[in-house]
Amino acid sequence: MSYRIRLENFEGPLDLLLFLIRKNEVDIYDIPIAEITRQYLEYVEVIKLLDLEYAGDFLIMASTLMRIKAKLLLPKPKSDEDEEELIDPRLELVTRILEYKRFKEVAHKLHDIGERQSKHYARAYFPNRSETEQQELVPPDNVSLFTLITVFKKVIDNIPRETFHEIKDIKVTTDEQIEYIINKLGIQEQISFIELFSDFESKIKVVVTFVALLELIKRNLILVNQATPFGEIWIRKN
């Protein structure tokens, strides 16, 4: 059974690198390639586990990081003249990241302008609303796919490792877990990400439930929010 999922506005390899740079609070001009590569490969393993489309793009970037890491490990020339001509292997990657970062910032600004313009109507009457009510209407869309994967990795790591493997049919489907999440949110107004997965001991059930969660986000049926960067993630109905 395949659980491959395609997400609109899917975040790619450069988004993951920007996420890791922010998460580790490192200088974008002086990226610690060895550590960032190690963390990047951990996320790639989760992406492969989820069988997300575009996983190949992440593998291509992984090979690029490994190549840069290998170049940095090579002995540096002893000659002063050769050292002056030596180009930092990270330079091309940093240039790509900065260009992509600028592109995303411009895209976000244009999107915000469009959102503000769409809320302006001529010759119309709008009832007054309190500041609190207005704040509640703002969609909590500050949680990225990689933020979700960060917490998902913790859930997977906490599942006891099996010492043997038994071949058997998969008894859980994405539709069943979508219904499970909707029912949970019918009982509770909101639920934390960790709590949503707390009853599962099966790795496959955790994976399918996470794919179901991504599908609900894609359908705009649920919202996820994070009060502080890398803090607790909360899920509620839209």
Q: What pLDDT sits at residue 130?
A: 44
The answer to whether residues 86 and 186 belong to one domain is no
pLDDT value for 142: 57
Contact residues for 60 (Cβ-Cβ < 8 A; gap 6+)? 13
Chain position carrying tokens 């219904």: 179
Q: Does one domain contain both 25 and 105?
A: yes
Tens-digit pLDDT string for the chain (238 aa) = 344 444 444 578 888 899 899 889 899 889 999 999 999 998 888 888 776 666 788 888 899 999 998 888 877 766 555 554 568 888 999 999 999 888 888 877 776 676 666 665 555 444 444 443 333 333 344 577 888 888 888 888 777 665 445 545 557 788 888 999 999 898 888 888 888 888 887 888 888 888 888 888 888 898 888 877 667 888 888 8
Task: Give yes or no: residues 11 and 120 share one domain.
Answer: yes
Q: 21 is in which domain, residue-wise?
A: 7-126
Note whether residue 131 is domain-resident: no
Q: Are 33 and 69 in contact (CB under 8 A)?
A: yes
CA-to-CA distance for 166 and 108, rounded, in angstroms? Answer: 48
Any idea what the CATH number is for the domain that residue 157 is in?
1.10.10.580
Q: Which residues of 20-45 are buried (b: 16+ CB within 10 A; e: fewer)?
A: bbeeeeeeeeebebeebbebbeebbe
Residues 150 and 97 in one domain: no
Same domain, 94 and 157: no
Number of structural domains (the chain) is 2
177 and 229: one domain? yes
Angle between helices 145-158 and 203-218 (to 10 degrees): 160
144 and 77 within one domain:
no
Residues 177 and 224 in one domain: yes
Q: Is residue 190 part of a domain?
A: yes
Please indicate, yes or no, whether residues 14 and 104 belong to a single structural domain of this protein.
Answer: yes
Residue 37 counted as domain residue: yes
Specify whether 106 is located in the same domain as 156: no
The answer to whether position 133 is within a domain reads: no
83 assigned to some structural domain: yes
Which pLDDT value is given to residue 126?
45
Q: Do 11 and 117 fall into the same domain?
A: yes
The answer to whether residue 1 sits within a structural domain is: no
**108 part of a folded domain:** yes
The three-state (H, E, C) secondary structure of the chain, written as one string: CCCCECCCCCCCHHHHHHHHHHHHCCCCCCCCHHHHHHHHHHHHHHHHHHCECCHHHHHHHHHHHHHHHHHHHCCCCCCHHHHHHCCCCCHHHHHHHHHHHHHHHHHHHHHHHHHHHHCCCCCCCCCCCCHHHHHHCCCCCCCCHHHHHHHHHHHHHHCCCCCCCCCCCCCCCHHHHHHHHHHHHHHCCEEEHHHHCCCCCCHHHHHHHHHHHHHHHHCCCEEEEECCCCCCEEEEEC
Cα angle at 224 between 219 and 225, to 5 degrees?
A: 150
d(CA 224, CA 139): 9
State both tokens at 120: 């302006």
Co-location of 15 and 95 in the same domain: yes
User: Looking at the domain assignment, is residue 14 inside a domain?
Assistant: yes
